[in-house]
Structures are given as structure tokens and as C-alpha cells.
């Protein structure tokens, strides 16, 4: 059973939620070798996240940003970790709530996502810069 693993650098994205399914499929063509297996995408940061959600209407991604900004406020009076900017501590919390990896079944060389599913990058900093992913796939050829 082969294991494919690569590091992949995303372009810098503005704060908010972004669909990155196409980037991963394009940059990690090894997944086409796998008949039945799993793709694991891991983000090596603590203020950005990976999740799966609706891939069609961009207002969903906008509502994600608006909701999480309400649910995880900036400048909460009880934050002690506040010297890296008001967007920093909320970014850590959002990243933990949403998660640092996604795992997706691979079937016949393709991501076996539902029709309306895509991979979201959650960029939770104002100027997060380029983010690094470690992408691993394994399964039967």
C-alpha cells in the first residue's frame, strides 16, 4: 500500500474562508493512483484552519466569516494573549474549533466528496501570509 506525501504552499489569502479543493487536486495528482483510500490535508499553523463545507454559493463563506467573528470576539476583556494583535487570539480559537486537518475518502482516483462539498481554508489573521499544507494519501492502487 503506497503512501504519497508532499508539502504544498498556498498563495496568501485575505482573512475569510476560501475554497481550495481545486488547488489540492491540481497540486497533488498522486491521488489519482489510489483506487480506495484516504486523503489527509494538514495545515501547519495555529491561526488558520481547514474544514469541509458548501462549495457553490460564496455567501456561505461570507456568513462563515461573519458568524465566527461574532462567536469569537476580538478584544475580549479576559484575553491575556493580546500582544500579537487583536486578530491573534480569536484566530487560535477559531482554528481549534474548525480543525487543523480534513480527511476525505479517495475512490477510483478521485476525492469522494458529496456534490456540494469543498475544502475550506479558514484564514483567521488579517495578514496571515502564505500557509503550508502537508498532504498525505494512502490506499490500494
Q: How far is the CB of 26 from its own copies (least distance, A)?
A: 20
Longest dimension (CA), the chain: 54
Residues that bind its own copies (CB under 8 A): 1-5, 36-38, 40, 42-46, 51-54, 57, 59-60, 62-64, 66-67, 70-72, 76, 78-81, 89, 92-93, 95-105, 107, 112-117, 120, 132, 134, 136, 138-140
Give the nearer residue to its own copies in terms of CB position, either 12 or 71: 71
Q: Which residues are CB-contacts of 140 (< 8 A; sequence separation ≥ 6)? A: 1, 34, 35, 36, 37
Distance CA 28, CA 138 (A): 12
Give the nearer residue to its own copies in terms of CB position, either 11 or 62: 62
Give the nearer residue to its own copies in terms of CB position, either 18 or 45: 45
Q: Which three cell numbers stand for residue 131?
A: 500557509
Compute the residue count for the chain.
141
Amino acid at each position: 500500500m503506497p503512501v504519497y506525501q508532499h508539502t504544498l504552499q498556498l498563495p496568501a489569502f485575505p482573512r475569510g474562508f476560501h475554497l481550495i479543493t481545486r488547488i489540492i487536486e491540481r497540486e497533488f495528482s498522486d491521488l489519482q493512483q489510489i483506487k480506495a483510500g484516504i486523503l489527509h490535508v494538514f495545515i501547519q499553523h495555529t491561526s488558520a484552519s481547514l474544514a469541509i463545507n458548501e462549495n457553490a454559493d460564496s455567501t456561505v463563506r461570507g456568513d462563515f466569516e461573519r458568524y465566527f467573528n461574532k462567536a469569537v470576539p476580538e478584544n475580549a476583556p479576559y484575553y491575556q494573549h493580546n500582544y500579537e494583535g487583536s486578530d491573534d487570539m480569536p484566530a487560535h480559537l477559531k482554528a481549534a474549533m474548525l480543525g487543523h486537518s480534513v480527511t476525505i475518502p479517495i475512490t477510483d482516483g478521485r476525492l469522494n466528496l458529496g456534490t456540494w462539498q469543498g475544502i475550506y481554508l479558514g484564514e483567521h489573521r488579517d495578514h496571515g501570509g502564505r500557509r503550508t499544507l502537508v498532504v498525505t494519501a494512502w490506499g490500494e492502487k
